[in-house]
Chain A
């Protein structure tokens, strides 16, 4: 733990990040650092701009001001797939898996397209290069499915999985991209307490693989349990950051969540 604190490596850095939707400032002058090997959490009341931050980092939205850099490289104007190839993977608040494809195919999608792999000609000719590529991919996908505990369901259609397993599948797909930073958007939403415990265990194991994590979460027990560092957002601005135990005593944070006292 002490070693983690001392390592100054910043994986993800935002400086003055700003996004407006018309008159609404969804993210306002946000500066955060995600350090290597850490589990960071982004919390805040509904509508405080948490998901917008993830959309800005992954290139789904273009920022109106400020900058994002990943391992020292600015991400400005890079398309989403390039950002993925650099090593940022994410999951979505509302699960976005391919329902009619199998679990295996969903995970395989994490290998992307247009970034290595066999050419169309190799594919069409079923050449040894194509087979080798598919075998390598399959091995990696199987390893990840085994890691998250979905290997025995790999031939199942994704839409037939129970909700909790679909969430795990989305995480598995993100892991197949071989990320250095994993962004999780409310991974515990809709899960029961047993599934949440398994999820926390999984997130820890992912972190132990050397993957830094930035997660958005509403469940405070999960944040308190997992997060080394917490950023608190309200109305698009960062109002506090620090260790969870410190943050939860912060009057601004309490006010943002619970409202102002009447006396």
Chain B
């Protein structure tokens, strides 16, 4: 039995990927869409795992990077008539560049100050999307771009393969010297510096990797929805992505993937509750966090759980625990 569990754990990613590959055959059309979104979110959340979980730099601007990827893809296809593949490559590259730029404030700011900066970035992007109407379509949104692959199922299979590869890569980064440098940033920046960790470079790499995955996820998002609107990229969305990282255990790749899939589908699973749906959703999350099933201590100074408490108003009046 113990052997079986060890085996399952070792190949957890592969098992998840295989299960996901079966999804189109066993789900209804609507359920399938939810799974698709889950996979797409998971790619994004793995980027956040590197940034938030490994490196301890909290970002609430991730939805804006997702938007950058999605909109760049859409605009390049609709306005410039590029091919989907070229559009996707350029969109990911551009998002990576933008996200790396976000590392600049992180050179000087940490903890809540960095969070505020990323929230600001998120708002700037959302307002730009709303107001640059000739380019982005403004509040009307943007539509009419082609998919990466003509067959929608093929896009899904591609996404699952990408998720699997990204997950393996993220796990390898976690175990590498880079991963160790990032964890050192999180726990003690001064010690890291003195031990020969080029802190700025490590921060830039963390932001770049995380933005790259946000861009990739954004391109897939555009493919899944076929329509982009600034409403899908608010800071509330960013908080949900943060939640996915926290619930996944902050350190675990498998955890992040599972939690992305679960949290994406939870509101849909709870839909039968109609009006009390959001209440139950919040309760489930709070109970989960309260029971300490997740190790949320990793963010030493500004824990993800406390941050979520602040965001939802749930942690009011509670001291440091």
Contacts and interface: CB of A to CB of B under 8 A. Distances in A.
Tell me the interface secondary structure of chain B in the complex: helix
B181 interface: yes
A109 B180 contact: yes
Contacts of A60: 190, 193-194
Most central of B172, B173, B197 by chain A CB within 10 Å = B197
Interface string B156-193: 00000000000001001100111011011001101111
B150 interface: no
A110 B176 contact: no
Given A137-B177, A173-B195, A126 B190 contact: no
B202 interface: yes
A221 to B, nearest CB: 28
A85 interface: yes
A108 B172 contact: no
A162 interface: no
A123 interface: yes
A98 B187 contact: yes
A100 interface: yes
Interface residues of B, number: 27
A130 B190 CA distance: 27
Interface string A206-241: 000000000000000000000000000000000000
Interface of B: 169, 172-173, 176-178, 180-181, 183-184, 187-188, 190-199, 201-202, 205, 209, 298
Interface string A107-145: 011111111011010011010001001100100000000
A111 B202 CA distance: 14
Nearest to A113: B181
8 contacts: A81-B194, A89-B195, A112-B197, A113-B181, A113-B197, A115-B198, A123-B176, A123-B178
A154 B201 CA distance: 28
Nearest to A105: B180
A100 B192 CA distance: 15
Interface of A: 58-60, 79-81, 84-85, 89-90, 92, 96-101, 105, 108-115, 117-118, 120, 123-124, 126, 130, 133-134, 137, 173-174, 177
B300 to A, nearest CB: 9
A110 B196 contact: yes
Contacts, number: 103
A84 B209 CA distance: 26
B205 A120 contact: yes
A109 B173 contact: no
Contacts of A115: 196, 198
Contacts of B201: 113-114
Contacts of B196: 81, 84-85, 110-115, 177
A114 B198 contact: yes
A25 to B, nearest CB: 23
Given A96-B188, A113-B198, A115-B196, A108 B180 contact: yes
Contact of A113 (B172, B177, B188, B191): B177
Contact of A80 (B173, B183, B193): B193
Given A98-B184, A112-B195, A117 B177 contact: yes
Contacts of B202: 113-114
A109 B192 contact: yes
B187 to A, nearest CB: 5
B187 A99 contact: yes
A110 B198 CA distance: 12
10 interchain residue pairs of minimum CB distance:
A112-B196, A114-B198, A113-B181, A84-B196, A80-B193, A96-B191, A124-B169, A113-B197, A123-B176, A114-B201
Contacts of B187: 98-101
B176 A92 contact: no
A174 B196 CA distance: 10
B168 to A, nearest CB: 8
A90 B181 CA distance: 17
Query: Which of A80, A113, A133 has the most CB atoms of chain B within a 10 A radius of its CB?
Result: A113
A101 B187 CA distance: 10
Contacts of B298: 100
Given A113-B180, A123-B172, A137-B177, 20 more contacts: A81-B195, A84-B193, A92-B191, A96-B190, A98-B183, A108-B180, A109-B180, A109-B191, A109-B195, A109-B197, A111-B196, A112-B195, A113-B202, A114-B198, A120-B205, A126-B172, A133-B177, A134-B176, A177-B195, A177-B196
Nearest to A84: B196
A58 B205 CA distance: 24
Contacts of A84: 193-196
Among B180, B183, B194, B197, find the residue whose CB has the most chain A CB atoms closer than 10 A. Answer: B194
Nearest to B184: A109
